[in-house]
Amino acid sequence: MYLADHTWPALQAELDAASTAIVPLGSTEQHGPHLPLATDHLIAEALATAAADETGIPRTPTVDIGVSPHHRQFPGTLWVDPPAFRQYVESVTRNLAYHGIDRVVYVNAHGGNVSHLREVGRRLHEDGTIYAVEWMWDESIPELVDELFEHNGPHAGPKETAMISHIAPELVDETAVSEARDGGLVDLEESDAVVHGARTYYDAIDNSANGAFGDPTDATAEKGERLFEAATEQLVHLLEWLEAREPEALRPEPRVE
């Protein structure tokens, strides 16, 4: 159920009966020369929608601009500073608590958001407001990702190319997929940006001239469908697990005496 499609009287009974909500989050940032800037938030929203439809759990509108300053050199990339992002997400989550929700799953599709969502969840858990956990789609199905792709890559590679080819194929520039591979960084071990154990890079462009990592030519819509269905299944299982937990089990443990 998508909250924003309903009137407040219609939502009153739904929220009174609900304990869990889904909050999709992504980014608006470069994804190589072949994928749209919307890649991350499209993936997050599609997965959140599929899980909400299957479970009946309410989902919020998508947070579609995230922590992406490391992609700023590429035209069109938008970002917010980490403190602003954390404050915004925390505020939205407290809104849900006000309406009776006591547990939230952040359906996330952008690596730059991960640590900040974990911090927001920690704050909300610590003060007893709500139990919120971050879920990253590809981290829920690592074996399948490894099975499908020889050179995966963390960004604008085959897994994201396959997912968008399944979700929104009209947004993939098929003529630029080979360019993404040839002008990017296919094998992460070939990067020279770690020196004597120190990460000497700060931005994506320091490692990849066109912003792509991995070999996106290995992606197909069929592989994307397999990824999407497997990740949706994992998300549904997580939501069902969370729904089944007693409220007391989600509160912070007391101080050890």
What is the domain class of 3-250 according to CATH? alpha beta
CA–CA separation, 231 vs 88, rounded Å?
26
**The residue to which tokens 């997580």 are assigned:** 238
What is the reported pLDDT for 187? 87
pLDDT tens digits, one per residue of 87-138? 999 999 999 999 999 999 999 999 999 999 999 999 999 999 999 999 999 9
CB 170 within 8 A of CB 38: no
What is the reported pLDDT for 191? 81
**91 compared with 190, residue with greater pLDDT:** 91
pLDDT tens digits, one per residue of 21-53? 999 999 999 999 999 999 999 999 999 999 999
Checking if the pLDDT of 229 tops 80, the result is yes
CB 152 within 8 A of CB 145: yes
Q: How confident is the model at residue 190 (pLDDT cuts 50, 70, 90)?
A: confident
Quick one: how far is CA 5 from the chain centroid? 22
Burial (CB < 10 A; 0-12, 13-18, 19+), residue 209, is exposed
> Domain spans of the chain?
3-250
Strand, helix or coil at 226? helix
What is the reported pLDDT for 193? 82
SS3 labels along 62-106 = CECCCCCHHHCCCCCCECCCHHHHHHHHHHHHHHHHHCCCCEEEE
Checking if the pLDDT of 188 tops 80, the result is no
Q: How confident is the model at residue 65 (pLDDT cuts 50, 70, 90)?
A: very high
Cα angle: 141, vertex 169, 135; to 5 degrees? 30
pLDDT, the chain, mean = 96
